[in-house]
RNA sequence: GGGCGGUUAGCUCAGCUGGUUAGAGCGCCUGCCUUACAAGCAGGAGGUCGCAGGUUCGAGUCCUGCACUGCCCACCA
């Protein structure tokens, strides 16, 4: 719902890049949507009013292609049906299959606002498209004209420069000689498309090219066609390239078209809309362009005009949609004068009104806009937004209007709407404002425009993103977002609200495990629904988030997902452990019943830090919370995911749960058990909230069970996202915990080495280097015994470092008492390795500490740290050496 | 022809603004069904950070060149 006037909460608006109706969900969608959903949920939980607006795109060519294929099975073409019937079929198709992708989306857990779902051909959006077109036309930014455009002979339509994909192919360059009239000489031209010679209307040479000076003003006889055409001088011909003379075909080449204009040459169109030769091609009429090429070459050869053929690699332009080789074609089209719009779009990014992350895309964006050509916006398709223009059959007047005009100004009523439709991207470029009710001045626009964020892939940086900026800045000029909301959203200082979005995050592309682009034709498409089926949505989302390092394409790898399925399982089991204890203790420990109400709290509610492990985990949780929030702030999804993962598995499960077990155990002190359990519950609750944006399903399920409807919020999605409380950082607790962990690991290590029976408890002796450590170990006695499987701990007053088997750190030496002999060779080996490492460390720290420059220039804490390290290493070195001596290692 | 990335453990990848002895997951080796979890637990092996220079007290991190690789852009016949 639209927030009313007076709303002072921040607003987060995000527009879903609308998938094509024809589409089915692929990994790229899921990747993109996972990142968006993480952002949306994160903002929502932090108290933003969020709008994530979904919709689908009518996708002109793509959709038409689908229906055409259907028709082809019935042996029909679209023109057999005619526009109206055809469009009916498309709508029919849309009704039947168009929902596929949105249905699939629902399984990703994407928390979009389905109530607002739109389709780009909806009436209100179509009306906005007409409005935009008419305004641009009235402003003189849209014009119509006969130009060379990229033409797809299969789709039978013009396409924009962006829709042409160039592909390097090994082709040929043919040299053809044209007889110069009135001489015995020939002039030789080179071409990669010999069939176009049929439409030649001149031969160009460079004015300064000495070789051809004597031909100036002469004519040649065009072979095969026996047409006289002039030799012109034009910069089109560059002396260095080929023969220095070039054939000019104004109707079939953009450069030649320009040259033709300069010299007033005739334009002879020799092809039809399917790139077959027409009557103008004389005897070649009816041939397909490649058949014609073959025939032309044969004939030239026979008649002695073909000089030679050379290998030549060329960049062949192909239709992005269907792969057919594009043919430059002269035709009447509609264009958008792009420069004025581009200038403003450049400014918006240059001045920081829009920020782009990662930053290198900023340059790419700017370069493109700086070198932009007018945009051909008309398409000769049936499916799409009809161009709101009519021509009068009596006076040829063109009328551009919002609604169908009744009659022409000449009085005639014979008006016919222009057959063309608009490029799909024309309408998608308008979505940031048209989906919010434009051209009406709606409250929605007031509140939700500009979007706070735009997340999309670089593959549509130009197609879509740049156009949204151009259109947004143009049509929303003078727009002001509700100031209270703007301020609350943290954008109070940005003056201009005409931009469609304030921040852009460009995500990477998902590739297959071999880094290949996924495509249907390659057959390497990984179906996200299949992955979800096998590993679960949460695990799949987590995989994508964890791999989403900005700027780096990701190679989707199932083994990672397998690992994150295990993670989900781990969470599940930890939750079981928690519930087990809650149930057993039979107390009101649900977080929903605590004083602070659990989830409305931005940290851990009611956490009572009684013990070292409590203080430690509280401190760690807050630090991790800080790291996660920071990471999300800068779109480092992978970092957020990894912190969340490591904390839970490596700290919470591996240590905290193990450490509190005695307190929870049967027969333990009831009050202490309840405190421990309550802490556990509240910590778990907070953790679930931290994790929720990435793994919405499992967190919701456990959270619901945890709260049992006892809380004001209906869903964890509306609970508060954890925020760090730096007061709860506890460095001493973290340091001490690390010492205990070291000790426990050392003992486990020794046990493994000595191959102590797993069940056998053994006595250990610990020498502490300082009283503090001694006390710590004394206090941690129970934990050490349990987690290291130790029988007794004796504090000794003399270092046992020399004795084998033992382990040493800078704080303690630990020696296990166990009669089995160690493997001397192996132990020597290990000690030597260890010593080597230590000495390497000593050498490097020694080198630096001996360097006056270092002491003078490095920051104090670095120097201090290094000194400390040097000292510790010295101690360890000595210990290792004496052990080696004791063992008598060679 | 321009531009942008990547090159770190067997595999897939982290390593943000240069600062202690470079990390994770998977895989591998050893041992464990320890009453939340064998999708698990404990321990372990494994890297001269693509190559060559340079800047710096200090470089996986910054600069230059090279190699390999991927991508984007481009109306030279």
Between vectors from CA A80 to CA A75 and to CA A81, what angle results, nearest 5°?
105
Which nucleotide is at minimal CA–C1' distance from A858?
A: B57
By C-alpha to C1' distance, B73 is nearest to A368
Percent of chain A topping pLDDT 70:
96
Residue A506: CA count within 13 A, CB half-sphere = 24
Which nucleotide is at minimal CA–C1' distance from A752?
A: B43
Tokens of A593: 């019943």
Query: Would you say the C-beta of A749 is within 7 Å of strand B?
Result: yes
Query: Would you say the C-beta of A742 is within 7 Å of strand B?
Result: no
Residue A822, pLDDT > 80, answer: no
Mean pLDDT computed over A487-508: 87
Mean pLDDT computed over A449-457: 91
Is residue A590 very low, low, confident or very high in pLDDT (cuts 50, 70, 90)?
low
The pLDDT score that the predictor gives to residue A595 is 42
The pLDDT score that the predictor gives to residue A556 is 81
By C-alpha to C1' distance, B6 is nearest to A552
- 8-state DSSP, A277: B
The pLDDT score that the predictor gives to residue A803 is 75
CB A149 within 8 A of CB A335: no
**Helices in A46-197 by DSSP H: which ranges?**
60-73, 78-81, 83-97, 100-105, 123-138
Residue A207, pLDDT > 70, answer: yes
Q: What is the pLDDT of residues A358-409, one digit of tens each?
A: 888 888 899 889 888 899 999 999 999 999 999 998 888 899 999 998 888 8
Q: What mean pLDDT value characterizes chain A?
A: 89
Query: Would you say the C-beta of A870 is within 7 Å of strand B?
Result: no
Q: Count the neighbouring beta carbons within 10 Å of the beta carbon of residue A516.
A: 11
The pLDDT score that the predictor gives to residue A510 is 81
Residue A246: CA count within 13 A, CB half-sphere = 24
- Helix, strand, or coil (residue A550): coil
The pLDDT score that the predictor gives to residue A598 is 47
- Report, in ranges, which bases of strand B sit under 7 Å from a protein C-beta: 3-6, 12-15, 19-21, 24-27, 30-34, 36-37, 39-45, 56-58, 70-77
Mean pLDDT computed over A454-469: 90
- Tell me how far apart the alpha carbons of residues A78 and A801 are, in angstroms, rounded to a whole number: 88
Mean pLDDT computed over A88-112: 87
Is residue A101 very low, low, confident or very high in pLDDT (cuts 50, 70, 90)?
confident
Mean pLDDT computed over A172-185: 90
How far separated are the first and last CA of chain A, in Å rounded? 79
Q: Residue A143 forms beta bridges with which residues? A: A335
CB A256 within 8 A of CB A199: no
CA dihedral A497, A500, A501, A505 (to 10 degrees): -150
Q: What is the pLDDT of residues A842-882, one digit of tens each?
A: 888 888 888 888 888 888 888 888 888 888 888 888 888 88
Residue A176, pLDDT > 80, answer: yes
- Tell me how far apart the alpha carbons of residues A155 and A151 are, in angstroms, rounded to a whole number: 8
**Helices in A586-695 by DSSP H: which ranges?**
612-633, 637-646, 658-664, 670-691
The pLDDT score that the predictor gives to residue A593 is 47
- Tell me how far apart the alpha carbons of residues A98 and A534 are, in angstroms, rounded to a whole number: 26
- Tell me how far apart the alpha carbons of residues A221 and A802 are, in angstroms, rounded to a whole number: 103
Percent of chain A topping pLDDT 90:
53
Query: Would you say the C-beta of A654 is within 7 Å of strand B?
Result: yes
Strand B-proximal residues of A, range 165-204, CB below 7 A, are 165-166, 168, 173, 189-193
Tokens of A365: 């964006």
By C-alpha to C1' distance, B38 is nearest to A566
Query: Would you say the C-beta of A366 is within 7 Å of strand B?
Result: no
Phi first, then psi: what are they for A696, rounded to 5°? -70, -30
Mean pLDDT computed over A304-320: 88
Q: Residue A150 forms beta bridges with which residues? A: A159, A328
Residue A519, pLDDT > 80, answer: no
In angstroms, how far is B57 C1' from A867 CA? 15
The pLDDT score that the predictor gives to residue A222 is 92
Q: What is the pLDDT of residues A52-78, one digit of tens each?
A: 999 999 988 888 888 888 888 888 888
Closest among A284, A317, A325 to A154, alpha carbons compared: A325
Q: What is the pLDDT of residues A129-144, one digit of tens each?
A: 999 999 999 999 999 9
Is residue A588 very low, low, confident or very high in pLDDT (cuts 50, 70, 90)?
low
Residue A624, pLDDT > 50, answer: yes
The pLDDT score that the predictor gives to residue A589 is 59
Q: What are the Cα distances from residue A264, in Å, to A147, A250, A257, A408?
A: 14, 10, 10, 33
What single string gives the DSSP state of each residue in A364-426? HHHHHHHT---EE-EE--SSSPBPSEEEETTT--EEE-SS--S--TTS---EEE-S-EE-HHH
Phi first, then psi: what are they for A50, rounded to 5°? -110, 140
Query: Would you say the C-beta of A253 is within 7 Å of strand B?
Result: yes
Least confident of A506-515, A601-610, A729-738: A506-515
Residue A889, pLDDT > 90, answer: no
Is residue A612 very low, low, confident or very high in pLDDT (cuts 50, 70, 90)?
very high
Q: What is the pLDDT of residues A246-259, one digit of tens each?
A: 999 999 999 999 99
- Tell me how far apart the alpha carbons of residues A867 and A415 are, in angstroms, rounded to a whole number: 89
The pLDDT score that the predictor gives to residue A63 is 87
Residue A307, pLDDT > 50, answer: yes
Q: What are the Cα distances from residue A881, in Å, to A236, A521, A781, A822, A829?
A: 81, 64, 30, 18, 13
Query: Would you say the C-beta of A563 is within 7 Å of strand B?
Result: yes
In angstroms, how far is B41 C1' from A107 CA? 34
Strand B-proximal residues of A, range 257-316, CB below 7 A, are 314-315
- Helix, strand, or coil (residue A193): coil
pTM: 0.92
Least confident of A196-200, A329-333, A667-671, A848-852: A848-852
Mean pLDDT computed over A262-267: 91
Q: What is the pLDDT of residues A641-654, one digit of tens each?
A: 999 999 999 999 99
Is residue A712 very low, low, confident or very high in pLDDT (cuts 50, 70, 90)?
low
Neighbour-count burial for A87-120, b at 16+ CB within 10 Å, e otherwise: bebbeebbeeebebbbebbeebbbbbeeeebbbb
Strand B-proximal residues of A, range 816-845, CB below 7 A, are 833, 837-838, 840-841, 844-845
- Helix, strand, or coil (residue A241): coil
């Amino acid at each position: 719902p639209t927030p009313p006037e007076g709303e002072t909460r921040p607003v987060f608006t995000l527009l879903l890049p609308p998938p094509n109706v024809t589409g089915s969900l692929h990994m790229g969608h899921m990747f993109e949507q996972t990142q968006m959903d993480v952002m949306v949920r994160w903002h929502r939980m932090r108290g933003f009013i969020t709008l994530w607006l979904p919709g689908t795109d009518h996708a002109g060519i793509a959709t038409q292609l689908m229906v055409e294929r259907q028709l082809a099975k019935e042996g029909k073409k679209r023109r057999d049906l005619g526009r109206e019937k055809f469009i009916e079929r498309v709508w029919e198709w849309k009704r039947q299959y168009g929902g596929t992708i949105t249905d699939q989306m629902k399984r990703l857990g994407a928390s979009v606002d389905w109530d607002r779902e739109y389709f780009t051909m909806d009436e209100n959006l179509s009306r906005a498209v007409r409005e935009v077109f008419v305004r641009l036309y009235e402003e003189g930014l849209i014009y119509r004209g006969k130009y060379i455009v990229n033409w797809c002979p299969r789709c039978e339509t013009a396409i924009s420069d962006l829709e042409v994909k160039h592909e390097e192919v090994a082709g040929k360059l043919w040299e053809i000689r044209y007889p110069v009239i009135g001489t015995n000489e020939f002039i030789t031209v080179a071409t990669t498309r010999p069939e176009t010679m049929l439409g030649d209307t001149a031969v160009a040479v460079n004015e300064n090219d000495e070789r051809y000076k004597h031909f100036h003003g002469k004519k040649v006889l065009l072979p095969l066609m026996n047409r006289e055409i002039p030799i012109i001088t034009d910069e089109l011909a560059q002396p260095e390239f080929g023969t220095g003379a070039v054939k000019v075909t104004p109707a079939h080449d953009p450069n030649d078209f320009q040259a033709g204009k300069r010299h007033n040459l005739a334009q002879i169109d020799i092809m039809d809309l399917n790139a077959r030769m027409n009557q103008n091609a004389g005897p070649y009429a009816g041939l397909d362009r490649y058949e014609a090429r073959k025939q032309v070459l044969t004939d030239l050869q026979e008649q002695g005009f073909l000089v030679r053929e050379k290998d030549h690699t060329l960049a062949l332009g192909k239709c992005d949609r269907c792969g057919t080789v594009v043919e430059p074609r002269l035709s009447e089209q509609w264009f958008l004068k792009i420069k004025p719009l581009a200038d403003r779009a450049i400014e918006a990014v240059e001045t920081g009104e829009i920020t782009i992350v990662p930053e290198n895309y900023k340059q790419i964006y700017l370069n493109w806009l700086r070198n932009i050509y007018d945009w051909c916006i008309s398409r000769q398709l049936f499916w799409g937004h009809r161009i709101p223009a009519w021509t009068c059959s009596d006076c040829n007047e063109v009328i551009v209007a919002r609604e169908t005009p009744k009659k022409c100004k000449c009085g005639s009523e014979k008006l016919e709407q222009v057959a063309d439709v608009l490029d799909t991207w024309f309408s998608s470029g308008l979505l940031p404002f048209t989906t919010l009710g434009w051209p009406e001045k709606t409250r929605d626009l007031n509140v939700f425009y500009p979007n706070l964020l735009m997340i999309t892939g670089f593959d549509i940086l130009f197609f879509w993103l740049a156009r949204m900026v151009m259109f947004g800045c143009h049509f929303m000029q003078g727009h002001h977002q509700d100031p209270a909301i703007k301020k609350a959203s943290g954008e109070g200082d940005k003056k201009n609200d005409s931009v469609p979005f304030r921040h852009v995050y460009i995500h990477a592309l998902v590739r297959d495990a071999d880094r290949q682009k996924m495509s249907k034709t390659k057959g390497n498409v990984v179906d996200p629904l299949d992955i979800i089926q096998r590993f679960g949505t949460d695990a799949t989302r987590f995989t994508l988030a964890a791999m989403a390092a900005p700027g780096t394409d990701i190679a989707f790898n199932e083994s990672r997902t397998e690992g994150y399925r295990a993670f989900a399982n781990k969470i599940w089991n930890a939750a079981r452990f928690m519930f087990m204890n809650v149930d057993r203790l039979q107390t009101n420990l649900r977080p929903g019943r605590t004083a602070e109400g659990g989830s409305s709290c931005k940290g851990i509610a009611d956490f009572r830090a009684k013990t070292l492990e409590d203080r430690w985990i509280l401190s760690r949780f807050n630090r991790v919370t800080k790291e996660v929030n920071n990471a999300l702030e800068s779109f480092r999804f992978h970092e957020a995911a990894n912190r969340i993962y490591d904390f839970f598995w490596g700290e919470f499960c591996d240590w905290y749960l193990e450490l509190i077990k005695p307190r929870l155990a049967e027969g333990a002190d009831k009050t202490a058990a309840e405190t421990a359990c309550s802490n556990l519950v509240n910590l778990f609750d907070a953790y679930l909230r931290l994790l929720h944006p990435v793994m919405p399903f499992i967190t919701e399920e456990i959270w619901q069970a945890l709260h049992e409807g006892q809380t004001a919020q209906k869903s964890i999605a509306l609970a508060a996202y954890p925020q760090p409380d730096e007061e709860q950082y506890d460095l001493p607790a973290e340091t001490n915990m690390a010492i205990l962990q070291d000790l426990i690991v050392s003992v486990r290590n020794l046990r493994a080495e000595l191959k102590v029976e797993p069940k056998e408890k053994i006595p250990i002796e610990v020498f502490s280097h300082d009283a503090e450590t001694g006390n710590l170990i004394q206090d941690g006695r129970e934990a050490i015994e349990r987690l290291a499987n130790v029988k007794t701990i004796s504090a000794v007053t003399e270092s046992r470092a020399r004795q084998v088997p033992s382990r040493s750190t800078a704080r303690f030496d630990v020696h296990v008492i166990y009669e089995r002999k160690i493997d001397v060779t192996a132990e020597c080996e290990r000690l030597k390795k260890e010593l080597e490492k230590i000495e390497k460390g000593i050498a490097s720290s020694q080198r630096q500490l001996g360097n006056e420059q270092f002491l003078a220039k490095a920051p104090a804490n670095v120097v201090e740290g290094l000194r400390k390290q040097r000292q510790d290493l010295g101690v360890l070195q000595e210990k290792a050496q004496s052990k080696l001596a004791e063992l008598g290692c060679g």
